[in-house]
Amino acid sequence: MKTIGKSLSIEEVEVAPPKAREVRVKIVATGICGTDDHVLKGSFPNVDFPVIPGHEGAGIVESVGEGVTCVKPGDKVIPLCLPQCGECSFCLNPNTNCCLQTHLYQSQNLMPDKTSRFTCKGKQVYHFLWISTFSEYTVMPDSTVVRIDDAAPLDKVCLFGCGFPTGYGAAVNTAKVAPGSTCAVFGLGGVGLSVIMGCEASGASQIIGIDINKDKFATAKDLGATECINPQDFEKPIQEVLVEMTGHGVDYAFEAIGRVDTLTAALASCHRGSGVCVMVGEPPPGSQLSFDPMMLFTGLTLKGSILGGWKMKDSIPKLVTGYLQKKFKPDVLITHNLPFSEINEGFELLRAGKSIKNIFIDF
């Protein structure tokens, strides 16, 4: 549980039974995503405190409320940080994965009936993105949970709740990386390394990883980066280095850090006539991007990508099945398996650049 200005504290929380169209899930494993760190630092917009964060989990359905037909007790599931209600105009639009129920359009700090299922010492605790996976039990609407293959190892496939599909999908869905192309990936955390996996799977011939932490380079190269560079090793701006390395700039640049300066650099490192820059990292709330609009005049494209463009209910079970068929290897990202009691140590490891993905079990 997180109270503003404090680190996470582990508390006894009462988790009420699911109401109609809600599901109560026993979380078996959860990861930390960079977005959870934004929540702890207070830079994720519109979070109410005290809150139970966490959105990269996997578990087992414990009970369901009236009218729930998509899952039943005992099913292995992944909670979805982007709902898919299946009925709104955005769900019916094949060109967006952002259901109108997502946190960008309405608050998910309480259940749809505007009450919380969490109580601690008699006080209401808020939900996060409707799924709050940093909890042994959690309740979510049925639009934000999906059944996965019974054979899926939950301590691995929890990564399909956010980080892996976000990065992989940014390459294969949003950018649609073409075979033989050049790619630059800014930020080699869980998300950026998953972008590299997507670029590699798409047949990119040059994949340049960019990070200020050289310890990330070995994993990036194992996953398909052809070279890795640290902007601090150069006197000139990194975009100039990338343009020189590739002739006229990269075909695709991905920002997977969440900073405006690196987003501007990613944009400027793209091929002016046909480059595609994809914003994946979440910039601080209220920030503004400033660049010469003439950059776009000759064909450069700037796009955003949330959750890799996947409609989560449709896609996550298929991705998990693909994992079981060894099509993806997101477990390479798991550097630490820790008991849930060490969740704060997990955030410290992430901030110190000493971990990629921390997975928590043993609630």
Find the shortest distance in angstroms from Cβ 297 to ligand PAD: 27
Phi, psi of 177 (to 5 degrees): -55, 130
- Cα–Cα distance, 339 to 161 (Å, whole number): 19
- Cα–Cα distance, 196 to 216 (Å, whole number): 12
85 binds, among Zn ion, ligand PAD, none (CB under 5 to 8 A by kind): Zn ion
Find the shortest distance in angstroms from Cβ 272 to Zn ion: 32
Find the shortest distance in angstroms from Cβ 333 to ligand PAD: 9
CA distances from 79 to 84, 148, 217, 242, 243 (A): 11, 10, 31, 38, 41
- Cα–Cα distance, 278 to 301 (Å, whole number): 8
End-to-end CA distance of the chain: 13
Q: Which is nearer to ligand PAD, 188 or 197 (CB)?
A: 188
Phi, psi of 228 (to 5 degrees): -130, 140
91 binds, among ligand PAD, Zn ion, none (CB under 5 to 8 A by kind): Zn ion
280 binds, among Zn ion, ligand PAD, none (CB under 5 to 8 A by kind): ligand PAD
Q: Which residue has the tokens 């995503």?
A: 33
307 binds, among Zn ion, ligand PAD, none (CB under 5 to 8 A by kind): ligand PAD
Q: Which is nearer to ligand PAD, 6 or 303 (CB)?
A: 303
- Cα–Cα distance, 141 to 115 (Å, whole number): 12
Summarize as ranges the residues that interact with ligand PAD (CB under 6 A). 33-35, 38, 162-163, 166, 186-192, 210-213, 216, 231, 256-259, 262, 280-282, 305-307, 350, 353
Find the shortest distance in angstroms from Cβ 334 to ligand PAD: 12
Q: Which is nearer to ligand PAD, 206 or 335 (CB)?
A: 335
Please name the residues in contact with 220: beta carbons below 8 A apart, sequence gap of 6 or more: 185, 188, 192, 193, 196, 209, 211, 228
Does the footprint of Zn ion cover residue 256 (CB under 5 A)?
Answer: no
Does the footprint of Zn ion cover residue 355 (CB under 5 A)?
Answer: no
x/- track of binding to Zn ion for residues 193-222 (CB under 5 A)? ------------------------------
Of residues 9-68, those binding Zn ion (CB under 5 A): 33, 35
Among 16, 60, 70, 88, binds Zn ion (CB under 5 A): 88
Please name the residues in contact with 56: beta carbons below 8 A apart, sequence gap of 6 or more: 30, 31, 32, 33, 36, 81, 133, 158, 159, 161, 162, 163
Q: Which is nearer to ligand PAD, 62 or 255 (CB)?
A: 255
Does the footprint of Zn ion cover residue 97 (CB under 5 A)?
Answer: no
Q: Which residue has the tokens 């998990």?
A: 320
- Cα–Cα distance, 13 to 34 (Å, whole number): 25
Does the footprint of Zn ion cover residue 91 (CB under 5 A)?
Answer: yes
Find the shortest distance in angstroms from Cβ 78 to ligand PAD: 15
DSSP for residue 18: P
**Rule CB under 5 A: which residues touch Zn ion?**
33, 35, 85, 88, 91, 99, 162
